[in-house]
Amino acid sequence: MRGYWNRPDETAKVMLDDGWLRTGDIGRIEAPASSTSRIGKKDMILVSGFNGLSERGRGVLARHPGVARSRRVSQPDEHSGEVVAVFIVRRDPALSAQQVIDFARTDLTGYKVPKHV
């Protein structure tokens, strides 16, 4: 990549002097020559200074029998900066937003519980 189209300011934030691109991906090295990308740095949700997006948070919602898929995103909040919101693909058409929130509360710290579904 040479940079963002007509965005030298954004290009400067991600390109190193020797041409490497800082992707913002966060991962781990599991064994020599083996790595796993977990999440992009830009995908983190900072709720009052705490990281509100975690693999555990996604795993909790994946265990709900009425949830086929979910995606956690941030939404601006005037009190905490950002809050967790979640988009759900329902396996159970009768699944409500409140049921998703209540289920998340059983296993997540308060700031990781979705405020919007």
Say if residue 37's pLDDT is above 50. Answer: no
Say if residue 23's pLDDT is above 90. Answer: no
Distance of alpha carbon 61 from alpha carbon 54, whole angstroms: 12
The tokens 């898929």 sit on which residue? 69
Domain with CATH 3.30.300.30 in the chain: 44-112
Of residues 46 and 26, the one with the higher pLDDT is 46
Distance of alpha carbon 76 from alpha carbon 49, whole angstroms: 13
Say if residue 40's pLDDT is above 60. Answer: no
pTM: 0.61
Which superfamily, per CATH, for 44-112? ANL, C-terminal domain (3.30.300.30)
Per-residue pLDDT tens digits for 90-114? 999 999 999 999 999 998 888 889 9
